[in-house]
A and B are shown apart, each in its own frame.
Chain A
Amino acid sequence: MSTKIKDATIPHIPTSARISRWIGRNLIRIYAVFAFTYLFIPVAYTFAFSFNDSGKSNLIWKGFTLDNWQNPCGAPEVCTALVNSIKIGFLATFFSTILGTMIAFAIGRYSFKGRSTSNLMIFLPMATPEIVLGASLLSLFLVFKINPGFWPTVIAHVVFCVSFVVVTVKARIASLDPRLEQAAMDLYANERETFRRVTLPLVAPGIAAAALLAFSLSFDDYIITNFNSGTLKTFPEFVYASAARGIPAQANVIGSAMFFLALAIVITGQIVGRKRKVSA
């Protein structure tokens, strides 16, 4: 800046107006801060109490310790439950992602008789309360003399995850530019090659997001699992069962660890996605 503007007038806004304008502009941002705080209160609480030197009952703060983190499987059944949740989660994710992706392609790419009925079929499980899904499946299993347990739980999870997978993948398919596939065919790729080299790679992020969603829904599920797991306990079931007498701090450890792990995965995904767009 070479010369200062000498005689120009600076617009004068009275302080009271300045304050009220600042508030008006930032009111919603202030609200957001409060809202986020509210969202994180129980998470922070869970995390804090994971360090509680509590013994079996983690209700009152007794003292700080790292023991729980060093020995996360210390409480009985905690790690069994966790492993069950993870196993069921992977299987449910695997099957629901495959089935759901196929359905998403069918509905999203083809116009055929029964397309709107198919859409309805997908919407129904999402519109049914979990308790109805869980209870009805239990009834069916009992009729066929199948005992609740591991595989019935996997099946139950797939039922309610499929619809979410379909919706997620369908959204991704819809955003695909059809001209990219035309360009591929124009460049000597037949239908199969076009799908393999252009369509699938471009839909893949949607499929990955759907799989992640399915896993989270499955891992965190309680109601449907409660009806169909029998004697097997998943992590949420473990927490519920021990809620009365006091949840061991190890559960807090696992909960917090899952939180940080998931956060790390999501943030990494974001950074990787952003790197692809910025010039190398």
Chain B
Amino acid sequence: MRKIRTPYLLLLPGFAFLFTFFILPIMNLAQTSTQTPVGGGDTGQYEQTLRFSNYIDAFVENREQFGRSFVYATIATLLALAIAYPLAYAIALKGGKLKNFMLILVIAPFFTSFLLRTVAWKQILGEEGFVVPTLRTFGIISDSTTLTSTSFAVVMGMTYNFLPFMTLPLYASIDRIDPRTLEASGDLYANGFTTFRRVTLPLSMPGVVAGTLLTFIPAAGDYVNAAILGSPNTKMIGNVIESRYLKIVDYPTAAALSFTLMVVILILVTFYIRKAGTEELV
């Protein structure tokens, strides 16, 4: 730890950049959210009126989508956790020499564009795919049920797409467990389940926290899965924001929605981290 000036010099370019293109935009977002359209002006012209009721209006009008976003994100996160944990466990503790190869296999599917994969799911789950006809033949679903354009498909798509974000931190955390502590647990009369519950799970908590955060946060703001795999009934808050920015030009509402989304997530994340007790996440 030497000269005192160096760290500041190193931070300067990056933080100047982030300030200009991250902090300022968010501040601008807050500012836009309280504007109103100029009476009689062109579309896209606003004046600052500090209209905080924008927030109330936006929230009330879109509370359904807000709620849906968080519900979908939560379900997707939990599903991803359920799928990823045993996988990460298998790689870390049973992988042996193939560990690295298996990790590559986890990341590899994501070298294909995620949009291609999501569209692929749409077609696989659609009428022309193999899933629906098979399920219909076995009588699991009726002839009139479809899997696409459903919330099921949206959540499934989200779960699938965020799987590596869940798996990798879980793996890193489980991998750090000394297998001899598990042996010690068995030596001290704990069977497989008890060892998992009392040793493996607590020790892998940092990974669980990191993984759930890395999954939930993007999932809550996602709209691509909803757009491709869903229907107007499955619109998430992301879809609303997108359309308010790019289709119907209504910047104040869109800004208010974005800002609300960000703040809600920040609050949830802060509570979550504090409850989970992890100190340094980055």
Within 8 A of A (CB), among B81-109: 83, 86-87, 89-91, 94, 100-102, 104-109
- Point out which of B17, B214, B222 has the most chain A C-beta atoms below 10 A from its C-beta: B17
Q: How large is the interface on A (under 10, 10 to 19, 20 to 34, 35 or more residues)?
A: 35 or more
Would A29 and B94 count as touching, CB distance under 8 A? yes
* Distance between A206 CB and nearest chain B CB, rounded to angstroms: 14
**Binary contact track A116-129/B, C-beta < 8 Å → 1, others 0:** 00110111111111
**Binary contact track B204-242/A, C-beta < 8 Å → 1, others 0:** 000000000110011011111001100000000010011
Would A136 and B224 count as touching, CB distance under 8 A? no
State the majority secondary structure of interface residues on A: helix
Provide the residues of chain B in CB contact with A239, threshold 8 Å: 113, 115-116, 119
Would A131 and B13 count as touching, CB distance under 8 A? no
- Would you call A210 an interface residue if the criterion is a C-beta within 8 Å of the partner chain's C-beta atoms? no
Smallest CB gap from B263: residue in A? A132
Would B217 and A129 count as touching, CB distance under 8 A? yes
Would B111 and A263 count as touching, CB distance under 8 A? yes
Smallest CB gap from A40: residue in B? B109
- Would you call A182 an interface residue if the criterion is a C-beta within 8 Å of the partner chain's C-beta atoms? no
Number of interface residues of B (CB under 8 A): 85
Would B22 and A133 count as touching, CB distance under 8 A? yes
- Would you call A89 an interface residue if the criterion is a C-beta within 8 Å of the partner chain's C-beta atoms? no
Chain B positions within 8 Å of A, measured between CB atoms, are: 1-2, 4, 6-8, 10-11, 13-15, 17-18, 21-22, 24-26, 28-29, 32, 83, 86-87, 89-91, 94, 100-102, 104-124, 128, 160, 163, 192, 213-214, 217-218, 220-224, 227-228, 238, 241-242, 245-246, 251, 254-255, 258-259, 261-262, 265-266, 269, 280-282
Beyond A118-B11, A167-B282, A243-B122, 18 additional pairs, beta carbon < 8 A: A32-B87, A38-B83, A40-B108, A42-B112, A42-B124, A45-B123, A127-B269, A132-B29, A137-B21, A163-B282, A223-B224, A227-B242, A240-B115, A243-B228, A256-B112, A259-B112, A262-B111, A270-B101
Closest 10 CB pairs of A and B: A129-B221, A136-B25, A262-B111, A42-B120, A106-B10, A110-B7, A99-B14, A32-B90, A239-B115, A106-B7
